[in-house]
Homo-oligomer: A and B are copies of this chain.
Amino acid sequence: MASKEMYALGSQASVIRDLFAYGQEQAKIVGSEHVFDFSIGNPTVPAPACVKEAMEDMLDTRESVAIHGYTAAAGDAVVRQGLADYMNQTYDAGVKANNFYMTCGAAASLTITLKALVETPQDEVLLVAPFFPEYTVFIHNAGAHEVILPPDTKNFQISMEAMEQAITPHTRAVIINSPNNPAGTVYSADTYTKLAAVLNRKSKEIGHPIYLISDEPYREIIYDGLPILYVPKFYPNTVICYSYSKSLSLPGERIGYILVPDCAADAHHVYTAVCGAGRAMGFVCAPHIFQDVVLKCLGQFSDVKLYDDNRKLLYNGLKDMGYECVYPSGAFYLFVKSPEPDACAFSEKAKKLNLLIVPADSFGCPGYVRISYCVDPDMIRRSFAAFQTLIDQYK
């Protein structure tokens, strides 16, 4: 007596959540110091001080109804102007307050954007493997279906041949995610340039624009001084989905935005449909106090150096043991090739050593595992003996 589809979604076990739950149980048996949980991507670096200061300041100086009242559905106008100013100063983006629609985080940004863009059940949305598994759920919710591009396991960029072949007259949008969860890689300017060329050519060929949905929750978590690229500069027909979950360590508070720049095709039309989709799904407005928090914290971020230290520690440690690791340039995931073809079997062997690492099959990339390093560095150090024991089994 309920939707079969929703029941299936609600009862579906997530590999990540299962591993995490297993770790919690094991910790009770063997002690938490003997469980090495690299399963989930919950930020461990605290929010920058400005978050607490902003909240305290508001509680001290503003009336309750001003702090907690409804905002406009798209978000407070002053906050959106602040976002526009910041994007213009930082990326020369040329955007206005009215290009922003504030959301309850990255997942909401994506479900709303997809629902706004999808027109018919024949619509196809392209995913570039490896990709965040919930993308397929969100695409189905919008009434479309996914077409998956196989991973470029050489460089973890995008295979333009595969992209070219995958596009059909039904292609509505392409979702990309850089820095990438799970691969920890970052798309280069060259990749964006080539991608834009393919999408422009193909858009012309199929007779309608292909939207690029750039999912950027890890935008500022980037290493080695790599530049942050503003995607619409390469391909104007881009909608940016952003979240402060990682950049301000606020994952539980659900705050982010959709940016539909004027350079996107039918920008005003798409933006209006975004407003409609948010309304249809009952989002009403993004949490008010966190709208103001992000305004007061513009340009400030959680301390990425702590993730960077973990990154170096883990990457160098595992490489020295003989693991084949994808060089991590962003986000907080290390992507490691399974020493046997079946990454699930590998993950199971790791689990026996209380080492919880996620097989990447559900990310569209079999044969790899994802290791989240948003963890205590001490746990990384303590885990090395187990990682050594694990790889020794393959020697």
In the complex, A199 has a CB within 8 A of chain B: no
In the complex, A116 has a CB within 8 A of chain B: yes
- Indicate if the CB atoms of B3 and A249 lie closer than 8 Å: no
Bound together, the chains give a CA A7 to CA B4 distance in angstroms of 29
In the complex, A11 has a CB within 8 A of chain B: yes
Give chain B residues whose Cβ lies under 8 Å from the Cβ of A288.
252-253
Bound together, the chains give a CA A372 to CA B334 distance in angstroms of 55
Whole-angstrom distance between the Cβ of A306 and the nearest chain B Cβ = 12
Bound together, the chains give a CA A8 to CA B279 distance in angstroms of 11
In the complex, A228 has a CB within 8 A of chain B: no
- Indicate if the CB atoms of B209 and A1 lie closer than 8 Å: yes
Whole-angstrom distance between the Cβ of A110 and the nearest chain B Cβ = 6
In the complex, A304 has a CB within 8 A of chain B: no
In the complex, A266 has a CB within 8 A of chain B: yes
Whole-angstrom distance between the Cβ of A124 and the nearest chain B Cβ = 15
- Indicate if the CB atoms of B46 and A64 lie closer than 8 Å: yes
Bound together, the chains give a CA A252 to CA B70 distance in angstroms of 4
Bound together, the chains give a CA A59 to CA B117 distance in angstroms of 40
Give chain B residues whose Cβ lies under 8 Å from the Cβ of A10.
116, 271-277, 279
- Indicate if the CB atoms of A6 and B137 lie closer than 8 Å: no
- Indicate if the CB atoms of B250 and A6 lie closer than 8 Å: no
Asked, given contacts A252-B288, A253-B288, A254-B287, whether A3 binds B273 with beta carbons under 8 Å apart, the answer is yes
In the complex, A182 has a CB within 8 A of chain B: no
Give chain B residues whose Cβ lies under 8 Å from the Cβ of A279.
9-10, 134, 137
User: A1 touches which one: B42, B55, B265 (CB < 8 A)?
Assistant: B265
- Indicate if the CB atoms of B65 and A46 lie closer than 8 Å: yes
User: A65 touches which one: B43, B280, B282 (CB < 8 A)?
Assistant: B43
- CB neighbors of B among A269-327 (8 A): 269-277, 279-290
- Indicate if the CB atoms of A269 and B1 lie closer than 8 Å: yes
Whole-angstrom distance between the Cβ of A9 and the nearest chain B Cβ = 3
- Indicate if the CB atoms of A270 and B1 lie closer than 8 Å: yes
Whole-angstrom distance between the Cβ of A279 and the nearest chain B Cβ = 5
Bound together, the chains give a CA A251 to CA B107 distance in angstroms of 21
- Indicate if the CB atoms of B252 and A285 lie closer than 8 Å: yes
Give chain B residues whose Cβ lies under 8 Å from the Cβ of A285.
252, 254
Give chain B residues whose Cβ lies under 8 Å from the Cβ of A275.
9-11
- The chain B residue with its CB closest to the CB of A69 is B252
In the complex, A111 has a CB within 8 A of chain B: yes
Bound together, the chains give a CA A5 to CA B272 distance in angstroms of 11
Q: Which 3 residue pairs are nearest across A and B when measured between Cβ atoms?
A: A252-B288, A10-B276, A9-B276
Extra 13 A-B pairs, beta carbons < 8 Å, given A10-B116, A44-B65: A2-B116, A2-B117, A9-B276, A9-B279, A9-B280, A10-B277, A11-B276, A52-B64, A56-B56, A68-B249, A107-B283, A141-B280, A253-B287
